[in-house]
Amino acid sequence: MKTRLNHVRINVSDINKALKWYEEILGFENDGGWPLENPTYYDFVSEDGAKFAIMEVKSGESHGRLNFQVDNADELWVKLKDKVEIVEPIFDTPWGTRKFTIKDLDGNELGFGR
């Protein structure tokens, strides 16, 4: 299977503190938060390559997340769903993609979508 890494997310304990740090210290520009009414997730403007994001999670909830673009998310879902630990079953996102997320053996989250 060929994939293209298109999204990397790290987990943080305090989204507002982390957002301020990435913006003020590193000069990153946020590209919007989610959910809109009380964001716990922000991604940052990128020029090329993978999108970088931060998400607030409870301590010990998960490691980071990598999202990969694949040609056929539904086909891969059918192949993997009974062999892996599922974080998010396949669904259509509000931004027009179709994806699912699983965990690897060490708890890292791996998302696959089109």
Q: Where are the domains of the chain?
A: 4-113
CATH 3.10.180.10 fits 4-113, yes or no: yes
Name the burial class of residue 111, with classes exposed (0-12), middle (13-18) and buried (19+) by CB atoms within 10 angstroms of its CB. Answer: buried
Whole-number Cα distances in Å, 72 to 50, 61, 93: 19, 29, 15
- 60-107 confidence digits (pLDDT tens): 666 778 888 888 999 999 999 999 999 999 999 888 999 999 887 667
Mean pLDDT (whole number) for 29-42: 93
Q: What pLDDT score was predicted for residue 109?
A: 86
Residue pair 63/11 in contact by the 8 Å Cβ criterion: yes
Select the more confidently predicted residue: 49 or 90: 90
Q: What pLDDT score was predicted for residue 60?
A: 67
Percentage with pLDDT > 90 across the chain: 44
Prediction pTM value: 0.65
